[in-house]
């Protein structure tokens, strides 16, 4: 098999060990690329909500420390927590709007409580990721991400003129304009790794301009200690569970789940660039990444700071350098932990002028909007998905601006729908459920997962074919696909030491020009993946029985596509069969 285009450039795969100096050198590069974003996100939230400097120092410390711990866990994989890949963790821009609302309405204690409780939903999602794959679709995630920019942009625009009293009139507009100009110019003109440095360089140049106007806070930097802990302390929890808590909780849960979907995308992408040979996606690693994301959110809540998520920067740098070794992730995490207890280093970032922070946030949110668009488009846009995305987005915009019957909805559920992201996200989920319900009815059957199920599956598929009015040739093709898929799954599970019975569920539905068969079976840990086996058919693998290879060849020629998703507790094989 020819290695993939990305695979040809992989110098150290995920399970290999590069020299320690190389690993820490790349780790330092990644840390320097992302530390500004990790610190500036809580700065945006705290400043927009009117918080004080002591809490800002504590929030930045907590964000960096949590990012360090979770980046290490993502790399080394502790039990079922962690992807086992270089996935940087940092503060999430998706939470800016809801965190500002929590701080404004209840302070850091309310924020901490909401983050901790919403993180539990992410753990639940990681444990049962296979069950919600049809509801929390890329279309839903992309729509909510686009609405994040819509929700936060007005707040950020209001920060553009935040300059100290008595500052020159041109201080704020010049420092903001230079920041945006440098970031955009480098993003458009620079190539390779320099493009990744565009935000950092833009903030540095903008801060230099602000310093020339006297609005960079050199006093904060001078007063900060070289080593130690922040001035502010742990904010505690708000356990009163008042109206503000219940009004904000749905928004926090929604953003948490959407953040998990973003993590799913990052954990799939990092797998594509971490190996020399093409591999099918291991959804157990995806579940581990989501679980580590949930752990990061839980720790963020315990620290009383902004939740975190995976950073796609690690994917870009891995692809550029060809070094995907887990040692790099461990190195980044250790560097973050060291930086967390260097208050002077964090103060350098926290002293950045407000207009520069706002300019950086504008570019960040603009790119976040484009990320949402890309997620929607990559999922494939047909008429129905277009309706879901379009209606949901503009419903969110309307509610965010108070343009949708405010006399009825302004006070509904404590003002829940005044947040455009919540209103639009809820609309997207509701329409997706309706779309799923409107699809052609799926025929289903269940049986024990063993060889005795072959006859039952055959009878089920013959009955499904007869109800659908398909030809004898299509009926035979479906029967053969069902048998070969089931035999392949049984064979790959023969050597597993799994306690307890296993169940098989088969569903069949019509689609334009054919049928979709889905086989779901409880499964234990195994490194074998059906997509990998089909991809490897071009070369005989030692130890692979010849009859199994013939079976896979048969399945490949009978089906138009075969997709195997492996989770910790479930295997899902989806087979598309064309009629004719």
In a domain, 532, yes or no: yes
Asked if pLDDT for residue 543 goes beyond 50, the answer is: no
Residue 278, Cβ density class (10 Å: 0-12 exposed, 13-18 middle, ≥19 buried):
middle
Instruction: Please indicate, yes or no, whether residues 449 and 351 belong to a single structural domain of this protein.
Output: no
Q: Answer yes or no: are the C-beta atoms of 352 and 40 closer than 8 Å.
A: yes
The angle at the Cα of 129, spanning 123 to 131, to the nearest 5 degrees, equals: 125
Mean pLDDT rounded to a whole number for the chain: 78
The pLDDT value recorded for residue 256 is: 85
Q: What are the structure tokens assigned to 221, written together?
A: 């930097």
The pLDDT value recorded for residue 67 is: 92
Instruction: Please indicate, yes or no, whether residues 249 and 340 belong to a single structural domain of this protein.
Output: yes
Determine the length of the chain.
580
Alpha helices by DSSP H, listed for 160-303, are: 171-189, 193-196, 198-212, 218-223, 243-272, 283-303
- In the block, which residue shows the tokens 């601006």? 401
Asked if pLDDT for residue 371 goes beyond 90, the answer is: no
Region 176-203: what's the mean pLDDT?
Answer: 81
In a domain, 562, yes or no: yes
Backbone angles phi, psi at 323, to 5 degrees: -110, 105
Tens digits of residue pLDDT in 96-107 = 878 888 888 888
Tens digits of residue pLDDT in 435-460 = 877 776 778 888 888 888 888 888 99
Q: How confident is the model at residue 95 (pLDDT cuts 50, 70, 90)?
A: confident
Structural domain total, the chain? 2
Helix (H, G, I), strand (E, B) or coil at 409: helix
The pLDDT value recorded for residue 418 is: 66
Q: Answer yes or no: are the C-beta atoms of 463 and 493 closer than 8 Å.
A: no
Q: What are the structure tokens assigned to 521, written together?
A: 């079976």
Instruction: Please indicate, yes or no, whether residues 343 and 454 belong to a single structural domain of this protein.
Output: no
The pLDDT value recorded for residue 577 is: 84
Instruction: Please indicate, yes or no, whether residues 200 and 342 belong to a single structural domain of this protein.
Output: yes
| pTM of the full structure | 0.66
Give the integer Cα–Cα distance in Å for 466 and 463: 5
In a domain, 209, yes or no: yes
Helix (H, G, I), strand (E, B) or coil at 543: coil
More confident of the two residues 277 and 89: 89
Instruction: Please indicate, yes or no, whether residues 450 and 365 belong to a single structural domain of this protein.
Output: no
The pLDDT value recorded for residue 298 is: 94
Region 541-550: what's the mean pLDDT?
Answer: 42
Q: Answer yes or no: are the C-beta atoms of 307 and 91 closer than 8 Å.
A: yes
Residue 382, Cβ density class (10 Å: 0-12 exposed, 13-18 middle, ≥19 buried):
exposed
Residue 173 CA to chain centroid, in angstroms? 34
The pLDDT value recorded for residue 559 is: 74
The pLDDT value recorded for residue 542 is: 39
Tens digits of residue pLDDT in 319-333 = 666 777 888 889 989
The pLDDT value recorded for residue 23 is: 82
In a domain, 282, yes or no: yes
**428: region left, alpha or beta (phi > 0 left; psi from -120 to 50 alpha):** alpha
In a domain, 275, yes or no: yes
In a domain, 400, yes or no: no
Instruction: Please indicate, yes or no, whether residues 233 and 362 belong to a single structural domain of this protein.
Output: yes
Q: How confident is the model at residue 361 (pLDDT cuts 50, 70, 90)?
A: confident
Calculate the CA dihedral of residues 202, 207, 213, 218 and round it to 10 degrees.
-170
The pLDDT value recorded for residue 68 is: 92
- Domain of 529 in residue numbering reads as 443-578
Q: How confident is the model at residue 4 (pLDDT cuts 50, 70, 90)?
A: very low
**539 secondary structure, DSSP code:** S
Q: Answer yes or no: are the C-beta atoms of 340 and 93 closer than 8 Å.
A: no
Instruction: Please indicate, yes or no, whether residues 374 and 454 belong to a single structural domain of this protein.
Output: no
More confident of the two residues 110 and 145: 110
DSSP 129-197: GGGSTTTS-HHHHHHHHHHHHHHHHHHHHHHTT---TT--TTHHHHHHHHHHHHHHHHHHH--THHHHT
Backbone angles phi, psi at 560, to 5 degrees: -80, -25
The pLDDT value recorded for residue 297 is: 92
End-of-domain residue from the set 326, 359, 380:
380
Tens digits of residue pLDDT in 22-70 = 888 778 777 776 787 788 788 888 888 888 888 888 888 889 999 999 9
Q: Answer yes or no: are the C-beta atoms of 213 and 197 closer than 8 Å.
A: no
Tens digits of residue pLDDT in 190-230 = 776 677 677 778 888 988 988 888 888 787 778 777 877 77
Asked if pLDDT for residue 117 goes beyond 90, the answer is: yes
Instruction: Please indicate, yes or no, whether residues 375 and 451 belong to a single structural domain of this protein.
Output: no
Instruction: Please indicate, yes or no, whether residues 169 and 89 belong to a single structural domain of this protein.
Output: yes
Give the integer Cα–Cα distance in Å for 471 and 579: 9
Instruction: Please report, for the domain that includes residue 516, its CATH number.
Output: 3.30.565.10
Q: How confident is the model at residue 71 (pLDDT cuts 50, 70, 90)?
A: very high
Asked if pLDDT for residue 538 goes beyond 60, the answer is: no
Asked if pLDDT for residue 525 goes beyond 50, the answer is: no
The pLDDT value recorded for residue 566 is: 65
Instruction: Please indicate, yes or no, whether residues 152 and 275 belong to a single structural domain of this protein.
Output: yes
Give the integer Cα–Cα distance in Å for 74 and 66: 12
Give the integer Cα–Cα distance in Å for 365 and 149: 5
Tens digits of residue pLDDT in 339-360 = 888 888 777 877 888 888 888 8
Nearest to 90 by CA among 24, 125, 39: 39
Give the integer Cα–Cα distance in Å for 406 and 400: 10
Nearest to 315 by CA among 278, 267, 368: 267
The pLDDT value recorded for residue 233 is: 74
- How large a percentage of the chain has pLDDT more than 70? 82
- In the block, which residue shows the tokens 């701080």? 103
The pLDDT value recorded for residue 207 is: 87
Asked if pLDDT for residue 161 goes beyond 70, the answer is: yes
The pLDDT value recorded for residue 203 is: 83
Asked if pLDDT for residue 8 goes beyond 70, the answer is: no
Instruction: Please indicate, yes or no, whether residues 27 and 154 belong to a single structural domain of this protein.
Output: yes
Region 162-181: what's the mean pLDDT?
Answer: 85
End-of-domain residue from the set 360, 380, 400:
380
End-of-domain residue from the set 327, 352, 380:
380
Instruction: Please indicate, yes or no, whether residues 363 and 466 belong to a single structural domain of this protein.
Output: no
Strands (DSSP E) found in 440-499: 443-448
In a domain, 389, yes or no: no
In a domain, 418, yes or no: no
């Amino acid at each position: 098999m020819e290695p993939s285009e990305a695979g040809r450039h992989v110098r150290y795969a995920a399970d290999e060990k590069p020299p320690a100096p190389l690993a820490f050198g790349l780790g330092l590069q990644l840390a320097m690329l992302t530390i500004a974003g990790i610190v500036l996100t809580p700065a945006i939230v705290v400043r927009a909500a009117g918080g004080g400097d002591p809490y800002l120092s504590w929030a930045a410390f907590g964000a960096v420390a949590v990012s360090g711990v979770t980046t290490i866990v993502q790399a080394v994989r502790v039990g079922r927590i962690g992807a086992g890949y270089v996935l940087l963790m940092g503060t999430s821009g998706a939470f800016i709007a809801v965190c500002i609302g929590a701080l404004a309405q209840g302070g850091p204690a309310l924020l901490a409580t909401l983050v901790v409780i919403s993180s539990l939903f992410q753990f639940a999602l990681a444990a049962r990721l296979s069950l919600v794959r049809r509801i929390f679709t890329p279309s839903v995630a992309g729509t909510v991400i686009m609405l994040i920019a819509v929700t936060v942009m007005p707040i950020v625009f209001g920060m553009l003129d935040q300059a100290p009293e008595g500052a020159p009139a041109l201080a704020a507009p010049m420092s903001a304009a230079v920041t945006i100009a440098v970031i955009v110019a480098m993003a458009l003109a620079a190539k390779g790794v320099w493009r990744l440095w565009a935000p950092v360089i833009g903030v540095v140049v903008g801060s230099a301009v602000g310093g020339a106007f006297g609005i960079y806070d050199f006093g904060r930097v001078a007063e900060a200690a070289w080593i130690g802990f922040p001035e502010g302390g742990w904010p505690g929890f708000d356990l009163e569970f008042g109206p503000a808590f219940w009004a904000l909780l749905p928004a926090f849960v929604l953003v948490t789940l959407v953040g998990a979907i973003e993590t799913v995308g990052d954990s799939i992408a990092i797998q594509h660039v971490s190996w020399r040979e093409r591999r099918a996606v291991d959804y157990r690693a995806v579940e581990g990444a989501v679980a580590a994301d949930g752990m990061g959110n839980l720790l963020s809540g315990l620290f009383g700071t902004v939740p975190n998520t995976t950073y796609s920067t690690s994917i870009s740098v891995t692809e550029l350098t060809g070094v995907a070794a887990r040692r790099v992730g461990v190195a980044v995490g250790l560097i973050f932990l060291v930086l967390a207890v260097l208050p002077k280093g964090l103060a350098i970032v926290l002293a950045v002028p407000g207009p520069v922070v706002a300019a950086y946030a504008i570019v960040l949110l603009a790119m976040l909007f484009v990320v949402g668009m890309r997620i929607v488009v990559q999922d494939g846009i047909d008429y129905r998905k277009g309706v879901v995305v379009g209606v949901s987005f503009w419903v969110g915009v309307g509610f965010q601006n108070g343009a949708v019957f405010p006399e009825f909805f302004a006070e509904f559920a404590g003002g829940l729908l005044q947040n455009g992201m919540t209103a639009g996200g809820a609309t997207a989920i509701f329409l997706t459920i309706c779309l799923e319900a409107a699809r052609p009815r799926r025929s289903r059957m269940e049986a024990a997962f063993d060889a005795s199920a072959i006859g039952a599956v055959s009878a089920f598929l013959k009955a499904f074919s007869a109800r659908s009015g398909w030809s004898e040739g299509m009926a035979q093709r479906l029967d053969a696909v069902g048998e070969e898929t089931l035999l392949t799954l049984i064979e790959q599970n023969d050597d597993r030491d799994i306690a307890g019975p296993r169940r098989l569920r088969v569903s069949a539905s019509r689609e334009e020009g054919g049928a979709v068969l889905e086989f779901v079976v409880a499964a234990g840990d195994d490194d074998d993946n059906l997509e990998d086996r089909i991809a490897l058919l071009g070369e005989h693998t030692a130890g692979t029985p010849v009859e199994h290879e013939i079976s896979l060849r048969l399945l490949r020629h009978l089906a138009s596509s075969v997709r195997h998703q492996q989770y910790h507790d479930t295997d899902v094989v989806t087979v598309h069969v064309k009629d004719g």
